[in-house]
């Protein structure tokens, strides 16, 4: 006798049953409600008649019968499982909005901290680049405020950005690097040392700096999150480890 594996998905128990062909139709049609059993028998008889009285196995394998029977029964048993209701969507949107409102301040603070770190790292890289060129090319090199874009002439405002140039004994120096600070970027400013505000950091061919230079980087949050940098006479470049505190001592002040 042939066997037909039939998979019945019961709403309470999901069981895989293997049963004989003669008892399959009886089990399917009698294990449900009267309405479902009537529909089942009618569909089975109709499909069997179209196939000239073929075996139940061929009837059940017929695509049209299978699709119509199971799709109609699923819609009848689960009429409300066709999508989300308007209330469910509104609740989801409200919860997502609350979570975003809670996360936004932390996310904004993280972005601003990253900008401060990026600005400090960019300036340190420029200083190291100038010192490296002074050593390798056996010529003085400097870092000074940005003047006109593309020019080797120094400006007067560190907050505009900076340039890296060579300082040969004769002739005009070469522009090695240029960095422009954007309107929303943190602001770089020189801090007076012994009453003198440095206008340029010059490295000689031995990599030594002409004088000590102190700098701070501030954003719109003020001194609490400000960063400090220092170039000492040996040419060493250091960043302050603690936001708001100057590496040379004391608290930072931002305008």
Query: Each residue of 77-123: pLDDT tens digit?
Result: 655 555 678 888 899 999 998 888 887 777 788 899 999 999 999 99
pLDDT digits over 166-188, tens only?
A: 999 888 899 999 999 998 899 99
Cα–Cα–Cα angle for 130, 131, 134, rounded to 5 degrees? 90
User: How many structural domains does the chain have?
Assistant: 2
223 with 155, same domain: the answer is: yes
Residue bearing the bigger pLDDT, 5 or 173: 173
Q: Is residue 102 part of a domain?
A: no
Q: Are 231 and 127 in contact (CB under 8 A)?
A: yes
Q: What is the CATH number of the domain that holds 152?
A: 3.55.40.10
Listed in sequence order, the residues at least 6 apart from 116 whose beta carbon sits closer than 8 Å to its beta carbon are 186, 217, 219, 225, 226, 227, 243
Task: Tell me the pTM.
Answer: 0.62
Name which of 233, 163, 231 is nearest 191 in CA terms.
231
121 with 196, same domain: the answer is: yes
pLDDT more than 90, % of the chain: 51
Confidence class of residue 226 from pLDDT cuts 50, 70 and 90?
very high
70 with 155, same domain: the answer is: no
Listed in sequence order, the residues at least 6 apart from 167 whose beta carbon sits closer than 8 Å to its beta carbon are 139, 140, 141, 142, 173, 202
Q: Is residue 14 part of a domain?
A: yes
150 with 215, same domain: the answer is: yes
148 with 70, same domain: the answer is: no
Q: Is residue 105 part of a domain?
A: no
Q: Is residue 32 part of a domain?
A: yes
Q: Is residue 85 part of a domain?
A: no
What is the C-alpha separation between 255 and 73, in angstroms, rounded?
73
What is the C-alpha separation between 183 and 186, in angstroms, rounded?
8
Residue that is last in its domain, among 20, 53, 77: 77
126 with 222, same domain: the answer is: yes
Q: Are 213 and 230 in contact (CB under 8 A)?
A: yes
Given a cut of 70, is residue 220 above it in pLDDT?
yes
Listed in sequence order, the residues at least 6 apart from 197 whose beta carbon sits closer than 8 Å to its beta carbon are 190, 191
Given a cut of 70, is residue 133 above it in pLDDT?
yes
Q: Is residue 205 part of a domain?
A: yes
User: For position 128, what pLDDT does the model report?
Assistant: 97
197 with 121, same domain: the answer is: yes
Backbone angles phi, psi at 214, to 5 degrees: -120, 140
DSSP codes of every residue in 106-123 = HHHHHHHHHHHHHHHHHH
119 with 179, same domain: the answer is: yes
108 class by beta-carbon count within 10 Å (0-12 exposed, 13-18 middle, 19+ buried) = exposed
Cα–Cα–Cα angle for 153, 177, 112, rounded to 5 degrees? 110
Confidence class of residue 247 from pLDDT cuts 50, 70 and 90?
very high
Q: Is residue 94 part of a domain?
A: no
pLDDT digits over 190-203, tens only?
A: 999 998 999 999 99
Name which of 229, 255, 236 is nearest 116 in CA terms.
229
118 with 211, same domain: the answer is: yes
57 with 136, same domain: the answer is: no
Listed in sequence order, the residues at least 6 apart from 3 whose beta carbon sits closer than 8 Å to its beta carbon are 18, 19, 20, 21
Q: Is residue 108 part of a domain?
A: no
Average pLDDT over residues 54-81: 57
What is the domain range of residue 31? 3-77
208 with 143, same domain: the answer is: yes
119 with 59, same domain: the answer is: no
């Amino acid at each position: 006798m042939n066997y037909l594996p039939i998979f019945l998905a019961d709403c309470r128990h999901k069981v895989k049953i293997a049963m004989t062909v003669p008892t399959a139709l009886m089990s399917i049609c009698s294990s449900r409600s009267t309405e479902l059993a009537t529909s089942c028998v009618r569909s089975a008889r109709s499909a069997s008649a179209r196939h000239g009285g073929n075996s139940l196995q061929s009837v059940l394998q017929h695509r049209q019968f299978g699709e119509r029977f199971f799709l109609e029964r699923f819609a009848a048993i689960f009429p409300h499982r066709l999508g989300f209701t308007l209330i469910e969507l509104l609740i989801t949107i409200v919860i997502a909005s609350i979570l975003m409102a809670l996360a936004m301040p932390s996310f904004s603070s993280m972005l601003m901290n990253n900008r401060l770190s990026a600005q400090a790292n960019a300036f340190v890289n420029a200083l190291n680049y100038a010192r490296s060129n002074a050593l390798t090319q056996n010529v003085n090199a400097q870092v000074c405020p940005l003047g006109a874009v593309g020019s080797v002439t120094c400006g007067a405002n560190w907050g505009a950005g900076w340039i890296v140039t060579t300082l040969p004994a004769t002739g005009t120096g070469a522009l090695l690097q240029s960095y422009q600070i954007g309107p929303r970027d943190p602001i770089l400013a020189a801090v007076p040392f012994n009453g003198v505000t440095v206008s340029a950091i010059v490295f000689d061919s031995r990599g030594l700096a002409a004088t000590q230079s102190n700098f701070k980087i501030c954003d719109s949050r003020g001194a609490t999150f400000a960063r400090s940098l220092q170039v000492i006479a040996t040419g060493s470049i250091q960043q302050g480890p603690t936001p708001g505190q100057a590496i040379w001592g004391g608290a930072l002040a931002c305008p």
